[in-house]
C-alpha cells in the first residue's frame, strides 16, 4: 500500500535494528523491544499496519506530528519513523517498567503518598501540553496509556485522540468510564476534558476502581451524567475535595490545571522519590567494618583465610544458582514467545471467522424476515393493548357485580331479622291465647259451681219463691264473679288475633318485596353477564379472524419471498446443497471458535503463571546480585 506520511528527521530502516521481543499489542499496532546495531541503544518500535489506519490516516498523521513536537521528561519521546509497503514504524523511547494499569492491577490500590508521586508527574505532563501554543488536548488519559521506566518514572503515551485546541471540538472519543458529561452529551469541549480524566485517574489510584463503574453501558452513562460519587472512609478530606472539584459536571465550574497544581492536597506532600535503586556502592556503604579488629597474629590470619575460602565457595554457589535461573528465564521467555505467536494466530482466525459470520448475516433475506418479525411483534403489541382495555372493562363490571352481591347480602340479613321478629310475635300470641283459654276455663268452672249451688237450693227449698228473692240471688251471684266477663276476654283475644294477622301480612309483604328485588338484581346480573359473554365471544372471533387473515397474508408473503429466493438461487446457481454446506462450515467455524476461546483462556492463564514465575525469578536474581555485590565488596576488603 503506497501511503506516505512525511520526511523523517533521521533516516533508518529495519536492517539497522535488532528485534529482541514483543512488549505490547493493540488494536492497530504492536510494540517491540529493539536494539540499534550501530549505537547499541535500546528503543521501543511501534509497528502500525497501513491497512488498519488507511481510513483514519489524517488522525494518524496528526498523532505523529504532535509526538515529534513534544519534548518532556514525563512524555514518551518519538525519535524517528520509517515505513515499507505494509507498515509504518515509529521508533520511540523505551519504558520497560510496564503500564500503570498493570501495577494498579497487582497492588489493587495505592497509598496517598505513592498516588501523589504518580499524579504529580502526570500533572506535569498535562500542564506542559495545556501551556503550549496552541494548547494540546490529550482526551484519553487512563492507566493503560501511562507507562513506567525502570526508575519508576511516569511516561504519558498514545496521542491517537490528541488534537490542537485551535477551534471548537465536538468529537466523541476516549474510554467510556473516563468520558466527561460534555463528550457524552456531544457538546463543545475544551481543556477541561483532561482535568476530568485526571480526577477519574486519581480516584482509581486511591480507591482501586473508577467512580462510575457499572455492569451496563447505560448505567455508566447515567452515573457520569447524574449519579453521585462515593468515597471510602479511609480517604483524606483533601483528596476528596480535589477529586470532587476535578469531577465537576459543569465544565465552566471545573477547576483548571493551575488550580489543581495549587491545591492543598498536591502541596501537602514532599517530592520524595517513589522507588530507590539499590547500587553496589550503597550496599558496600552499609557494611560497617571495624578495621581495628584485624590482628596481625598468625591465628587471626588463618581465621581470615578460612573465611575468605568460605566466601569464595558461597560466591561459586551463587553464580551457579544465577546461571540455572538465567537458563530457566530464557526457556520461559521462549515459551512465552511461542504462546504469544499462538495467541496471534488464534486472534487472526477469530477475526476472519467474525468477518465471515457478518458477511453471512448481512443478506437481504434476513433483513426482510426481520422486518416481517418486527411487524408481527407490532401487531401482537396492538392486540395486547386491546386485551388490556377489555380486561379493564371486565374488572369494572366485576366490581359492580361485587357491589350488587353486597347489597343482596344486606337485604338477606334484614329478611332474616324480620323472620326472627315474626317468630317471637307468634310465640307471644300463642302465650296470650293459652292464658285467655285458662281464664275461660276458670269462668266455665265458676258457672258450673253456680249452677250446682242453684240446683241444691232448689232441692231443699220450696217452689214458691218470689221474684224479689230471685233477683237478690242473681245480684249476689254476679257480685261473686271476677272483674272481667267472658265477653271482654273474647274481645281482647280477637284484638290480639287481628294484630297478629296484620303483623303476618307485613312480613309477607316484606318477603314479597325482597323476592322481587332479588329477582330483579339476578335478572340484571344475568343480562350483564350475557352482554359480557357476547362481547368476549365477538372479540375472540374478531381476533381469530384477524389472526387467520394475517397468517394467510404472511404465508402468502413468505411463499412469494420463497419463490423470489428460489428464482435468485436459480439465477446465481445456489441450491440447497450449497446452503447446507455453508451452514456446516459456519457450525465448524463456531466450534473452532469455542475451542480457540478455551485454548486462549488456558494460554492466558499459563502466560500469567509464567509471568508470575518470571517476576519471582527476577526477585531471586536481584537478591543473588545483591549477595554477589556483598561478597565482592567483602573479598575486595580482604584483598586490601
- Nearest one of 198, 199, 208 to 122, comparing CA atoms: 198
Distance, in Å, from the CA atom of 504 to the CA atom of 5, rounded to the nearest integer, reads 117
Task: For residue 198, give the nearest of 213, 215, 211 by alpha carbon.
Answer: 211
Residue 477 Cα distances to 443, 450, 460, angstroms? 13, 7, 19
Distance of CA 328 to the CA centre of its chain: 45
CA 398, 401, 404: angle at the middle one, nearest 5? Answer: 155
For cell 566466601, name the residue: 311
If you count DSSP H runs as helices and E runs as strands, how many of each does the chain have, helices first? 16, 9
Pairwise CA distance, residues 192 & 255, whole Å: 8
CA distance 129 to 133: 9
Q: Closest Cα partner for 156 from 111, 198, 196?
A: 198
Distances (CA, A) of 501 to 5, 444, 492, 498: 122, 28, 14, 5
- Cα dihedral sign for 511, 516, 518, 519? positive
Q: Residue 322 burial by CB count (10 A; 0-12/13-18/19+): exposed, middle or buried?
A: middle
The whole-angstrom separation of Cα 620 and Cα 414 is 99
Query: Within 10 Å of residue 361's Cβ, how many Cβ atoms?
Result: 9
Instruction: State the Cα–Cα distance between residues 145 and 157, nearest whole angstrom.
Output: 5
| R_g of the chain, CA atoms, integer Å | 54
Unique residue bearing C-alpha cell 480535589: 242
Q: Are residues 325 and 621 in contact, defined by beta-carbon separation less than 8 angstroms?
A: yes
Element containing residue 287 per DSSP (H, E)? none
- Reading the block at residue 296, the C-alpha cell is 596481625
CB 592 within 8 A of CB 349: yes
CA dist 146 and 104 (Å) reads: 11
Q: Is the distance from CB of 77 to CB of 70 less than 8 angstroms?
A: yes
Exactly one of 25, 84, 127, 140 is catalytic; which is it? 140
Cα 220 from Cα 177, distance rounded (Å): 7
140 an active-site residue? yes
Q: Which residues are annotated as a binding site?
A: 46, 93-95, 144-145, 158
The answer to whether the beta carbons of residues 126 and 138 sit under 8 Å apart is: yes
Q: Which residues contact 321 (CB under 8 A, 6 or more apart)?
A: 624
Residues forming the annotated binding site for ATP? 46, 93-95, 144-145, 158
CB 212 within 8 A of CB 220: yes
Q: How far apart are CA 640 and CA 637, in angstroms?
A: 5
Q: Which residue has the cell 525502570?
A: 150
Catalytic residues: 140
Amino acid at each position: 500500500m503506497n501511503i506516505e506520511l512525511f520526511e523523517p528527521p533521521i533516516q533508518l530502516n529495519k536492517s539497522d535494528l535488532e528485534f529482541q521481543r514483543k512488549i505490547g499489542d493493540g488494536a492497530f499496532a504492536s510494540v517491540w523491544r529493539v536494539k540499534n546495531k550501530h549505537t547499541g541503544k535500546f528503543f521501543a518500535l511501534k509497528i502500525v499496519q497501513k491497512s488498519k489506519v488507511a481510513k483514519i490516516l489524517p488522525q494518524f498523521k496528526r498523532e505523529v506530528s504532535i509526538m515529534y513536537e513534544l519534548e518532556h521528561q514525563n512524555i514518551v519521546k518519538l525519535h524517528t519513523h520509517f515505513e515499507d509497503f505494509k507498515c509504518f514504524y515509529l521508533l520511540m523511547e523505551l519504558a520497560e517498567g510496564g503500564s500503570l494499569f498493570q501495577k494498579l492491577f497487582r497492588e489493587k490500590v495505592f497509598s496517598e503518598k505513592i498516588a501523589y508521586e504518580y499524579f504529580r508527574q502526570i500533572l506535569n505532563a498535562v500542564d506542559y501540553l495545556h501551556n503550549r501554543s496552541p494548547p494540546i488536548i490529550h482526551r484519553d488519559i487512563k492507566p493503560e496509556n501511562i507507562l513506567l521506566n525502570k526508575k519508576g518514572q511516569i511516561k504519558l503515551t498514545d496521542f491517537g485522540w490528541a488534537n490542537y485546541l485551535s477551534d471548537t471540538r465536538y468529537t466523541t472519543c476516549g474510554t467510556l468510564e473516563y468520558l466527561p458529561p460534555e463528550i457524552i452529551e456531544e457538546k463543545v469541549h475544551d481543556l477541561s476534558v483532561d482535568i476530568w480524566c485526571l480526577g477519574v485517574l486519581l480516584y482509581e489510584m486511591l480507591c482501586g476502581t473508577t467512580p462510575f463503574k457499572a455492569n451496563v453501558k447505560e448505567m455508566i452513562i447515567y452515573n457520569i451524567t447524574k449519579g453521585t460519587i462515593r468515597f471510602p472512609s479511609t480517604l483524606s478530606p483533601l483528596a476528596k475535595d480535589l477529586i470532587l472539584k476535578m469531577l465537576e459536571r459543569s465544565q465552566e465550574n471545573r477547576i483548571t490545571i493551575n488550580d489543581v497544581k495549587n491545591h492543598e492536597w498536591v502541596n501537602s506532600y514532599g517530592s520524595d522519590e517513589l522507588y530507590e535503586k539499590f547500587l553496589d556502592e550503597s550496599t558496600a556503604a552499609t557494611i560497617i567494618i571495624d578495621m581495628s579488629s584485624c590482628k596481625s597474629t598468625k591465628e587471626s590470619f588463618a581465621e581470615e583465610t578460612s573465611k575468605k575460602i568460605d566466601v569464595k565457595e558461597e560466591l561459586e554457589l551463587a553464580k551457579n544458582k544465577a546461571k540455572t535461573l538465567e537458563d530457566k528465564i530464557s526457556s520461559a521467555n521462549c515459551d512465552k514467545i511461542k504462546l504469544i505467536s499462538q495467541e496471534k494466530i488464534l486472534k487472526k482466525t477469530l477475526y476472519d471467522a467474525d468477518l465471515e459470520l457478518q458477511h453471512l448475516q448481512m443478506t437481504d433475506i434476513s433483513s426482510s424476515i426481520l422486518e416481517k418479525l418486527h411487524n408481527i411483534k407490532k401487531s401482537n403489541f396492538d392486540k395486547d393493548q386491546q386485551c388490556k382495555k377489555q380486561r379493564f372493562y371486565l374488572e369494572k363490571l366485576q366490581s359492580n357485580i361485587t357491589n350488587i352481591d353486597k347489597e343482596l347480602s344486606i337485604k338477606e340479613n334484614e329478611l332474616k331479622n324480620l323472620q326472627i321478629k315474626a317468630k317471637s310475635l307468634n310465640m307471644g300470641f300463642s302465650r296470650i291465647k293459652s292464658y285467655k283459654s285458662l281464664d275461660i276455663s276458670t269462668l266455665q268452672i265458676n258457672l258450673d259451681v253456680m249452677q250446682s249451688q242453684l240446683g241444691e237450693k232448689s232441692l231443699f227449698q220450696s217452689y214458691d219463691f218470689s221474684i224479689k228473692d230471685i233477683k237478690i240471688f242473681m245480684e249476689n251471684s254476679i257480685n261473686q264473679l271476677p272483674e272481667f266477663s267472658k265477653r271482654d276476654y273474647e274481645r281482647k283475644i280477637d284484638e290480639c288475633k287481628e294484630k297478629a294477622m296484620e303483623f303476618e301480612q307485613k312480613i309477607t309483604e316484606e318477603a314479597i318485596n325482597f323476592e322481587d328485588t332479588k329477582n330483579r338484581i339476578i335478572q340484571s346480573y344475568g343480562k350483564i353477564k350475557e352482554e359480557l359473554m357476547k362481547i368476549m365471544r365477538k372479540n375472540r372471533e374478531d381476533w381469530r379472524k384477524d389472526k387467520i387473515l394475517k397468517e394467510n397474508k404472511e404465508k402468502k408473503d413468505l411463499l412469494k419471498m420463497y419463490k423470489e429466493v428460489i428464482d435468485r438461487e436459480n439465477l446465481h446457481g445456489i441450491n440447497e446443497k450449497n446452503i447446507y454446506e455453508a451452514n456446516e462450515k459456519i457450525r465448524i467455524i463456531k466450534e473452532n471458535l469455542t475451542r480457540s476461546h478455551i485454548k486462549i483462556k488456558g494460554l492466558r492463564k499459563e502466560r500469567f503463571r509464567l509471568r508470575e514465575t518470571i517476576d519471582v525469578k527476577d526477585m531471586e536474581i536481584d537478591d543473588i546480585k545483591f549477595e554477589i555485590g556483598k561478597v565482592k565488596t567483602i573479598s575486595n576488603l580482604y584483598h586490601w
